[in-house]
Structure 1
Amino acid sequence: MTTEVSRADVEDFLFHEADLLDQWRLPEWLELFTEDAEYQVPCMDLPAGANPDTSLFYIADDRFRLGERVKRLMKRTAHVEFPHSKTRHIVGNVRLKSRSDDVIDVAAVFTTYRSKDGITDLYLGSSDYRLMPHNGSFKIKSKRCVLDADALRPAGRISIVL
């Protein structure tokens, strides 16, 4: 990477990602990921370094499974999300943890509001990203969202993308 990456550059990218999710432009959101990407949401009772190969995760998608998730959520037959929930993804406290020429490790916090059928659910937590510089922007090599709650109740499910 020949140019210096600033926190503002990374924030702009994460804000763009959040906007795509809020607008339900999931196929475009999927294009933000590398072909070997991972997207993970571990269960809330797991230790920080838990591995989806040995522990139960809410979501442990590789790029192919993430693509299938996007296709399913965009169909009218995805009854839990049709019509689509109204969501607002708020990203903050963005920190560049480490960087090299080919990867940037980023930590952030998130709050996601999901409103559907007269009920608004709140999901909050932290995200760890591994970003790869790509054509003046970034691609997501991995995204791990750790929820900060004791249980999924009252929401009871994760049918949206965090």
Structure 2
Amino acid sequence: MTVSTVTRQEIVDFLYTEAKILDEWRLKEWAALFTDDGIYEIPPLGVPDADPKEYLFFAHDTRSRLQERAERLLKKEAHVEYPHSTTIHNYNNILVSDLESDVITVECNFTIHRTKREVLDTFIGKHFYELVLRDGTFAIKSKKVVLHLDSLRPHGKISLIL
């Protein structure tokens, strides 16, 4: 696959595969989807264009930090996620731009349902991706998660990968 032969459907399939990997708690595999210089970020509520040097982000991880996060969440010592939550990641309204470019941009809405200890939480918002081709497949150069929530209720924290 080359940049000039990439189709929108291949991008959509990649996103759906990412969702499946996250729902199956294959977090090390998920972290491996990122480029070596990849970034995963969740800015504060209500400030989607925040500068991480000026605001406290829920996550602003480099590729190596993502790997550490994945390994930590998979351990029994990660009490907040052991046993693991059950999640369903739904991606919709997927808009793909720059198919002919070296960096493909993608924007989509998401709904993530999480159940744990008989409590159902729902996270909604938008994902913003920059995807590149690496060894004939896609890799995530950046993923920004913008939550469209008034607050994080009832627990006030994010303990899973959005």
State the one-letter code of the partner of 1:115: T
TM-score (norm 1): 0.94
- Percent of residue pairs bearing the same amino acid type: 44
Report the equivalent of 2:84: 84
**What secondary structure sits across from 2:71 in the alignment?**
helix
Runs of 4+ displaced beyond 3 Å: none
Cα distance in structure 2, aligned partners of 1:41 and 1:98: 23
Shift of 1:2: 4.9
Report the equivalent of 1:24: 25
Report the equivalent of 1:137: 137
CA displacement, residues 76-127 of structure 1 (integer Å, 9 cap, x when unaligned): 1000000000000001111113344421011011100110000010000000
Cα distance in structure 1, aligned partners of 2:49 and 2:30: 26
Cα distance in structure 2, aligned partners of 1:118 and 1:107: 32
Say yes or no: does 1:154 pair with 2:154.
yes
Q: Which runs of 5+ in 2 are unaligned?
A: none
State the one-letter code of the partner of 1:151: S
Cα distance in structure 1, aligned partners of 2:109 and 2:98: 17
Deviates most, 6-15 or 94-103: 94-103
Question: In structure 2, do the counterparts of structure 1 residues 69 and 2 end up closer, same or farther at CA, with 3 Å as the change threshold?
Answer: closer
Question: In structure 2, do the counterparts of structure 1 residues 59 and 7 end up closer, same or farther at CA, with 3 Å as the change threshold?
Answer: same
Determine if contact 1:13/1:137 at 8 Å carries over to the other structure: no
